[in-house]
Structure 1
Amino acid sequence: MPINFFKHLADQNGDHILRIAPPEHLKEVVEGFYVCKAGYPEERELFFNDGYPVIALMQNKDENFSVNIDGHTKYVGNAWVCGGVLRNIYCEFERRFEDCLVIRFNAVTFFKLFDINEDSFQNRQVFDFTEIAGYGIEKFKEAYYSCTALEDRVKVIVDFLSGKMTVYSYPKLLIDIQNYIEREGILTVKDILDGYSVRLNYKWLERNFKKHLGISPQSYLLMRRFLNAYLDLDALTSKDLLEIAIDNGYYDDNHLIKDFRRFSGVTPKTYFNVPARVFNKAIDTVAL
């Protein structure tokens, strides 16, 4: 998703995003339906994922979304999937990214729902939904885009996902751990292992993260840490870079700069130093 999507998640039902709760029978699969109510005027924005796979449906049938991966443009159509660890991937807007409907899934159940391997996001992080949707996708898209009312579109999605529901087992504790990470913010693997009254060990945690989420617990926590630091930088507070780094669990500002380059391909100063932005000490003091 465009990285600025995540700063609106905390302000659900505000001016920028609308959340619709899933029906009871889908709550183990779908975290929520979201409508992006504010367009992003930038022609290019960093793409990111916070550990929850998403399927996004563009507002109009003829909208073809594209992403730039390491300098190469890839078109993913009007319905696309995003997940895993995204590095140096940017979305390219042909139109305002507005009224896009995003389905945010619980990773633990996402892979089972679409009958795909848990490592599906290892080599491709953004791709056309038709690649995993299976039988009935064309009928689904036809029904979806024939509707104009939001409630009708959500019903089409619910019916489609409900038809894919199967009985399968997974450790319920994983969803609890994901919620714990999101709630607490800055954590290490040791914090997770020590934070539960039930007995957890590292091998169990790593094995089940990779099996059911398709990612190691370390990579999951790295994504969450970077996202929190990015949102602090974007907020243009009075903090300097070192303060932001320490507040988000980095050893120092150089550690944050290296992580920023790893995920975006550039330093924080280069990324934020674009026309029509207002900067303060937090950005101006970032080293090249």
Structure 2
Amino acid sequence: MGTIDHLTVSDLFFKSEHILGAYVFSCKDLQSSQPLFNDGLPTLIFMPEKTNVVHLKKADVEIKLNAAWVCCGVIENTYWQLPEDLPYIIVLRFKPSSFYEIFNVEPAFFLTRPYCSLSEIMSNRWIQIIDQLYQKETISDQFELLKETLSTYTVIENRPYLLQAALEKIDYNKGNITVSELIHDLGGKVNRKWLQRSFVKYIGISPKKYISLQRFIFMFGHCQNKSQKEIIDNTFLSGYYDYNHFLKEFKQYIGVSPTKYNWE
């Protein structure tokens, strides 16, 4: 794959009508074993070299993915075994409606398979694009190819307005909101069954699980370099009923308790 050239790692490099954000993340300071989870939205990851292999481990099960891979939906107790010399990864966060149409895949596909190699879902056209991508000399050239390719797709946004409003309220509150509160904030214009059906159809996960993911991601980001007391205090501010509620979700997503997790 290309060199980093003049770009600064971890910056946002572009958005489009299909992309919420395209990034380059440095991996040089990461531990060899990293918890893998995302916010539920479709995310495409490119390793630096086409020959790279991704090694994931869930409990005692080992999973191998190709250099271009996808994660989407709910990821639990899964660790990414990073190669020691991995310099960076490219990450593309998609708008769900665009991703599912561009790659012609149903959201339900990720209910039981929250990560897979891109080759499992891509068309012949994308096989050629990925080959071209890994022939580019710089990341700038790779992003230009991706932007050019994505610009050829026209996706009609068919996501209901009230569903978009629900997503924005959840994100604004960083997951510190219940489904009942969400329905109330939407002015009572939707009911629980409609919200459940719409989230599963357009996003691929339930509203309760999506809320849980956003709340956990926000809280996880605030746990580093915090004392046990600070973590406990933050659980209430983040919308957890108590510390045990957070502890349960931490074990669910990460596989161990916060006190046993390596925060370095």
Whole-angstrom distance in 2 between the partners of 1:194 and 1:109: 29
Q: Specify whether residues 181 and 168 from structure 1 end up closer, same or farther in structure 2 by C-alpha distance, changes over 3 A only.
A: closer
Shift of 1:112: 2.4
Q: Structure 1, residues 218-272: CA drift from partner, whole Å, max 9, x if none?
A: 0001111111221121242684332122121111111211111111121111113
- Residues 17 and 38 in structure 1, CA contact (< 8 A), matched pair in contact too: no
Match of 1:8 in 2: none
In the alignment, what sits opposite 2:107?
118
Match of 1:6 in 2: none
Which residue number corresponds to residue 12 of structure 2? 19
**Taking structure 1 as reference, are residues 108 and 187 closer, same or farther at Cα in structure 2, changes over 3 Å only?**
farther
Q: Do the aligned partners of 1:18 and 1:37 also contact (CA within 8 Å) in 2?
A: no
Identify if the C-alpha distance between structure 1 residues 164 and 15 changes in structure 2 by more than 3 Å, giving closer, same or farther: closer
Q: Give 3-state SS (helix, strand or coil) of 1:234's partner.
A: coil
1:170 aligns with 2:163: no
Alignment of 1:1-288 (within 5 A): 17-23=10-16, 27=17, 29-167=18-156, 169-185=158-174, 186-197=176-187, 199-236=189-226, 239-272=229-262, 277=264
- Looking at structure 2, the residues matched to 109 and 166 of structure 1 have their Cα atoms a distance apart, in angstroms, of 6
Counterpart-to-counterpart distance in 2, 1:222 and 1:269 = 21
User: After the TM superposition, which of the residue ranges 120-129 and 193-202 deviates more from structure 2?
Assistant: 193-202
Counterpart AA for 2:195: L
Judge conservation of contact 2:27–2:89 (CA < 8 Å) in 1: no
Gaps of 5+ in 2: 1-6
Distance in 2 (CA, whole Å) between partners of 1:66 and 1:100 is: 14
Report the alpha carbon displacement of residue 48 of structure 1 after superposing the two structures with TM. 0.4
Alignment partners' CA distance in 2, 1:208 and 1:235: 38
**In 1, Cα distance between equivalents of 2:95 and 2:57:** 26
CA positional deviation for 1:168: 5.9
Residues 154-187 of structure 1: per-residue CA shift (max 9 Å, x gap): 1221233344544462224433432332222111
SS in 2 for 1:122: helix
Change (3 A) 1:251 1:107: same
Where in structure 1 are there 5+ consecutive unaligned residues? 1-13, 278-288
Taking the aligned partners of 2:116 and 2:71, their CA distance within structure 1 comes to: 7
Deviation per CA, 1:120-172, whole angstroms, max 9, x where unpaired? 11111111011111122331122101112223211221233344544462224
Q: Judging changes above 3 Å, is the alpha-carbon distance between structure 1 residues 145 and 219 closer, same or farther for their aligned structure 2 residues?
A: same
Return the alpha-carbon distance in structure 1 between the equivalents of residues 81 and 145 of structure 2.
28
Instruction: Kindly indicate whether the alpha-carbon contact (under 8 Å) linking 1:55 and 1:81 is maintained by their aligned counterparts in 2.
Output: yes
Q: Secondary structure at the match of 1:81?
A: strand
* Segment drifting more, 182-191 vs 80-89: 182-191
Looking at structure 2, the residues matched to 60 and 114 of structure 1 have their Cα atoms a distance apart, in angstroms, of: 22
Q: Is the 8 A contact 1:36 1:97 kept in 2?
A: no
Normalized against structure 2, the TM-score is what?
0.88
What is the RMSD of the two structures over their aligned residues, measured on CA atoms?
A: 2.3
CA change 1:215–1:139 in 2 (3 A) is same
Q: Aligned equivalents of 1:201 and 1:51: distance in 2?
A: 22
Conserved in 1, the CA contact under 8 Å of 2:97 and 2:157?
Answer: no
Q: Which has the higher contact order (CA 8 A, sep 6+)?
A: 2
Question: How many residues are aligned here?
Answer: 257
Secondary structure class of the residue paired with 2:182? helix
Distance 1:96 1:251, change over 3 A: farther
**Partner AA of 1:18 in structure 2:** D
SS at match of 1:104: strand
